[in-house]
Structure 1
Amino acid sequence: YKLRATANWVQKPYEKRNFWERLATFDLASDKCYVVQPQNTNPPPNLNVWRERIWLTVMIAPALLIQALWYYIIPENSYFHTWHPIVAFIFYHLAFVTFIIRLVKHITYYMDIYGTFDEYKRPRDYVPDKYVYRLILSILIYTLARTGGGLVLGGYDRYSPPSLGHTISWAFPVKIGIWLITLDFFFYFYHRAVHTFPFLWKYHSKHHSTKHPTPLQSILADDLQEIIEIFLIPLAAS
């Protein structure tokens, strides 16, 4: 339990880290998260869920507003009035990456303020040396696939700009809600299975290479696991 994976890259000065290690630096929390802390006997913190929902809305809304504003400003008879799928993909991928950066900083802020689970026994783990490249690759695959999947499953059509009551029905929020519940159903049984059956665990074990991960380390996965979680399960839920 006390054995920690080797993470010598963290000890290097930033300028001596390679490209992948510099990107992984983004996942680092404050120093206190990586050392054992005194046991906190206070009750667990209770965050206001609506405050977090407002934060998420504020973080997500700008990309949607920018596209809506573009449609409003650029004349309808202009070729550039609507976005080519490639343009939409690049724009929303950058927006997604920006959101992830802000989300990780948001979570690590809470880690610093409120502490982390079991921190009086064991602190957070650094990304192991052997998985730094794999983690960054997993993040890239995740963001690209989620962006592309959203456009495909959402039926993005350049010549039918999204608008409530027109290309997006008023039942759309209900459909999204049902899809999310179905997705959670599929993911639960898949995740239960990989922890139950040894022949599946070998494809999931890399995800647990660190016992006390930081936020982005939760994305670390094997190739087959990424295919299942990013493509097959959302497709099955659809």
Structure 2
Amino acid sequence: MLSLQGKRCLITGGSRGIGLAIAKLFASKGAGCLLIGRNQDSLKTAVSSLKQTDGSPPHDQYVLDVSSMNGWRNLMREPRTERVDVLVNAAGISQSSFLFKMPFPELDEILNVNLKGTIIGCQRVIPKMMKQRSATHGGRGASVYAATKAGVIGLTRSIAWEVGRFNIRANVIQPGYIQTDMTKGMDGNGDLAALIPMGRLGLVEEVADAALFLANNSYAHNCVLNIDGGLSAT
């Protein structure tokens, strides 16, 4: 098993929900977290909630649209990203309309954030990891939304094959319905929970536990880990 003590972790979507839960858990284990998001105030609040342990790198935030190639390029030129040990791609948005009713701007945004953002993040961060010969972890899922998540799995499997020899690991977490701002109001009468074998929505902390396992286990590579209360079995 590896240790997160002293590791530097870059977490997209880190200002709330699953990304923030992962950051809080990683920080409690001695990691320094660089939180990426689109809202400066939300990022500041999130960073202030992270535990700072003795000897751990400082936590920080960076405003970035993950679908921006130039944004990623500028970030990776900064001294604070001189070393990245763990990458968590937790940024994501959901779909709220049927495919044939979806406006093109919504289609573009989902593809840009969920799939393109993950691809660019991996493209910019992994070369630095290859020089370090360190470890990596990748984070997680109506038509276009599902397609982006399936694309992330395919991307991760290809990356796993390409970079394993550099001791870089690539994994996917597939959360089911998790209690976040994204799912608020979706289960007002309990119908959604009734579809899940365990009878409830998951907690962000439960997804964070899975991220910690994948980050710590040095032989966990090319894993697709369902954290969905059994929903994918139905």
Shorter-chain TM-score bucket reads under 0.3
Taking structure 1 as the reference length, the TM-score comes to 0.27
Structure with the larger RCO, 1 or 2 (CA within 8 Å, 6+ apart)? 1
Structure with greater proportional helix content: 1
Flag the structure with larger Rg. 1
Structure with greater proportional strand content: 2
Taking structure 2 as the reference length, the TM-score comes to 0.27
